[in-house]
Amino acid sequence: MKSSSSRKKAPIGKSRKKNNPTFNQKELLRNLLVIFLISFFISTALNIYLFGFTDDFFSRMFWCLLVVFLLISIMVLGIVPLVNRLMNKFVNR
């Protein structure tokens, strides 16, 4: 006699994997716009507070904006989702 296994099998036709979300370009553009505005205001405030309106205001503003934008965008769009995904895999095991 064969004994029945205690594990339940998934019904035929239903997959066990979750559907991967599709790439949303509008949401990415909105996030980049918000990150740009935040980094613009932060870099403007820092530049005016630390150096004032000097002759090289716009070049300092550009480099400060670039650095702040890259830092925020890498953190928000890259590191945070990666850590979130890894923690979800680790916790759901």
Domain assignment present for residue 14? The answer is: no
Domain assignment present for residue 17? The answer is: no
From the centroid of its chain, how far is CA 49? 29
Residue 22 has pLDDT above 90, yes or no: no
Domain assignment present for residue 74? The answer is: yes
pTM score, whole prediction:
0.69
Domain assignment present for residue 16? The answer is: no
pLDDT digits (tens, 9 = 90+) for 42-73: 999 999 999 999 999 999 999 999 999 999 99
Domain assignment present for residue 67? The answer is: yes
Domain assignment present for residue 51? The answer is: yes
Structural domain of 76: 25-91
Domain assignment present for residue 11? The answer is: no
Total number of domains in the chain: 1
Neighbours of 22 (CB within 10 A): 6
Burial of residue 75 (number of CB atoms within 10 Å: 0-12, 13-18, 19+): exposed
- Model confidence at 13, pLDDT cuts 50, 70, 90, reads low
